Amino acid sequence: MLSQNKKQKPLKLLYTYEERIPKNLRELVLSFLPKDEFEIDSMTYALPDEEKIKKLKWAEIALFAPGRYLSEKVLKEASHIKLMQLWSSGYDKFNVAGAKKYGIPVANNGGANAESVAEHAIMLMLSFAKRLPDSHQRVVTGNWKGNGHGMDMFMLKNKTLGIIGFGNIGQAVAKKINGFEMKVIYYDIKQQPPEAERGCGATFAEFQKLLQESDIVTLHLHLNQSTERIIGRKELSLMKKGAVLINVSRAQLVDQEALFLALKDQKIQGAALDVYTEEPTKPNDPLLNLPNVVLTPHMAGSTYDAYVIAMKNAVANFRRVKNGQKPLWVVN
């Protein structure tokens, strides 16, 4: 008779990453995977499909950090994988439909980076309001002459913040911004119950009304067919002339040509962006050279603390699979 306490075999885990991921971050990921629970192999997305297939055929579960596209040719040979776990919240760059076709569950990080992204969105609001990049440069160069003496700056207090997309990140933004004494309104395809709205200090507004009333509009949506270019020429024309657009989600949520023209012609006051249609960005991109933009290099969710939470969630999900339970946060 076999002992009931017989130790389970380690799960065969394939860790996939981009070559640009620094060594210390890869080491952090591996440090969360106990060797008595996981037998680990790794690969980069740069491998040819034939090599990816060999690696995946060996594996039982897979971690993609970050999640990037896999061809259907590869996924077809990986139909035995019990879970493909992403460390990110977004999954538009992963072949989710292909994985679904071959019966492979794909899970995101369960909101692990929500607090980090929310903090970043608020930082961009403040950076624009206080002209931080220009102010920093003036101090570094000693060129204080010609500054606006605050006439080109504003406070967040008593302004209206419009949040488009009221999931984990949108709600985190609402809760954090309450300390700035802003009026907070939100739009989502699903209105939250009154107690949830009170908990976030936010009230629901129809999409058009939100655009018309907000001093700052911030986007917190997943990219899909229904959200692509949700902000276009018409929507930008509805915004106040003094309004600012914040985008820490996906560049494709916004019609980039329409945004460029609205900023260039000062139809809106400005924009603060963390995401771009082409990444890394190119220095000749006219949008990036406008004086009324504040920019960061797609880093809103990239903090040490967020990585730790994401890896804890990933390991918890792998253990669920190992114990015969359904994984959490499945997106397909």
Residues labelled catalytic: 250, 279, 298
Q: Measure the CA–CA gap between 316 and 220, rounded to whole angstroms.
A: 26
Side chain identity at residue 3, one-letter code: S
List of residues 6+ apart from 272 with CB closer than 8 A: 124, 125, 127, 128, 244, 245, 246, 247, 293, 294, 295
Q: Measure the CA–CA gap between 270 and 51, rounded to whole angstroms.
A: 46
162, β-bridge pairs: 185, 217
Q: Measure the CA–CA gap between 72 and 85, rounded to whole angstroms.
A: 17
Q: Measure the CA–CA gap between 238 and 209, rounded to whole angstroms.
A: 9
Q: Measure the CA–CA gap between 33 and 37, rounded to whole angstroms.
A: 7
Of the candidates 35, 37, 43, 51, the one whose C-alpha atom is nearest the C-alpha of residue 14 is 43
Cis peptide before 280 (omega within 30 of 0): yes
Query: What's 252-304 look like in SS3?
Result: HHECHHHHHHHHHCCCCCEEEECCCCCCCCCCCCHHHHCCCEEECCCCCCCCH
Q: Which alpha helices (DSSP H) does the chain contain, by range?
A: 23-31, 49-58, 72-76, 96-101, 114-129, 132-141, 168-177, 194-200, 207-213, 233-238, 256-264, 304-322
Tell me the Cα Rg of the chain: 22
